[in-house]
Structure formats: C-alpha cells, structure tokens
Amino acid sequence: MIKPLYITQHDLRPYYPVRVKDHEGNGVDLTGYTIRCTMVPAAGGTAKINRRTAGITLGNQSTSPGLCHLKWQAGDTDTIGTFNIEFEFTLGADSDKFTYPSPEHGPAQVIVGAGLDDE
C-alpha cells in the first residue's frame, strides 16, 4: 500500500514524489524515459491530469536513481476529493513501457482537502 499524499485545495506543494525501484529494491535509472502522469477521481469521472508530461522533473539519477516528482500546475488541486494517480514510463522507440504503481501495490492516491479560503 502506498501512502496517500494530502494537499490543501489550490496549493502547489508538496510535489508528488515517485521513487521507482526494481524487484531487488534498487532505484531504476530513469534517464531517457518519457514520463506521463494521469490523475482521475477515485469515484470515477473526468481526468484532472491526462497523460501530461509537463511538470515532471527527474532527480539526480546518479545519486538518487528512480527519483522524480510531479510539480502541480494551476487547476490540478482545485477540486476537493480523492484521486488516483499513476505514472507511465516509456523508453526509446521500441516503447519499452511500465506503469507506476503496479497493480500489486494498489492505487496511489492524492487527497485534496478544503482550505480556509478560496485561493
């Protein structure tokens, strides 16, 4: 089970962190991968983020292999609720692809809670 990320409505931090590991627990070097993010309401409905590549930043793959994070953009966190989020990693022209989290880990969730103001 992956711990949900809690964020206040309209906030742009904390970023959503991802650490991809192989079956032995070692970080996977993500250099050269195209990374897409999708985030949809857990109860169903229209995607808040639909296969977006913008705002996803790699960490230093030499010192922290497998580390990347999603920087929220305006509109990503404007709706209160629970959302499932996933990342698709594709390498090269042969479309070597994997998705994080995998089904064995269960859904990764973002919970957007109400703030005390409307901004």
The domain ranges of the chain are 5-113
For residue 95, what pLDDT is reported? 72
- Give this prediction's pTM: 0.91
For residue 2, what pLDDT is reported? 86
User: How many other C-beta atoms are found inside a 10 Å radius of the C-beta of residue 80?
Assistant: 12
Which residue in the block uniquely carries the two structure tokens 């962190």?
A: 17
For residue 53, what pLDDT is reported? 95
| Fold type of domain 5-113 | Immunoglobulin-like (2.60.40)
For residue 118, what pLDDT is reported? 73
For residue 94, what pLDDT is reported? 67
For residue 103, what pLDDT is reported? 83
Give 85's contacts (C-beta < 8 A, 6+ positions apart).
16, 37, 38, 39, 49, 70, 107, 108, 109, 110
Q: Which residues of the chain have pLDDT under 50?
A: none
For residue 11, what pLDDT is reported? 96
